[in-house]
Homo-oligomer: A and B are copies of this chain.
Amino acid sequence: MQISKGVEWACHAAAILMSLPKDRALRADSLARYYDLPSAYMAKQLQALSKAGITQSTRGARGGYRLAKSPEDINLWDITTAIEGNKPVFRCTEIRQNGPCRFDKNSCKKACPIAKSFALAEKAFRDTLANINLIDIAIIFAQDTHEEDILKGSAWIQKEAVPL
């Protein structure tokens, strides 16, 4: 039961894009180099973000990525599902309907209590992530990070940023 690395990368990429001026974009390659990540695979995650409407991409020369909406409207659950899809974590295979004591169809109208319980847990997980947006991340980040590190980061982003 592991979340794919792509989700971690996508969250960081979205966080990086926050400190990008409104009229600029960052190439997929720049975003990969920022944390020294495999560029081809990072590119795939960014494409998924665009498909989900989280980033907005410009193709061609001087193309790149930027956030498609304001950071407070992008939460961590959005990013997670953009990368992972949103299949349920617990897959109920309805084994109740097999074996010598299998239920008749009428008894299976209600969801299995075990599946129900996991669905509840998943909702708690989902709601927690849905309540944390990029601004929240930025605030914690600003509190926890030395100012020199913050400045170094945004300077690098400025340098790499592509004017539209």
Contacts and interface: CB of A to CB of B under 8 A. Distances in A.
Contacts of A124: 121, 124-125, 127-128
Interface string A95-107: 1101111011011
A36 B116 CA distance: 22
A149 B107 contact: yes
B107 A156 contact: no
A19 B9 CA distance: 47
Contact of A113 (B8, B37, B125, B137): B137
A90 B7 CA distance: 9
10 contacts: A2-B87, A3-B89, A3-B90, A11-B114, A37-B95, A76-B118, A104-B149, A107-B144, A114-B137, A117-B129
Size range of the interface on A? 35 or more
Interface string A78-90: 0000001001011
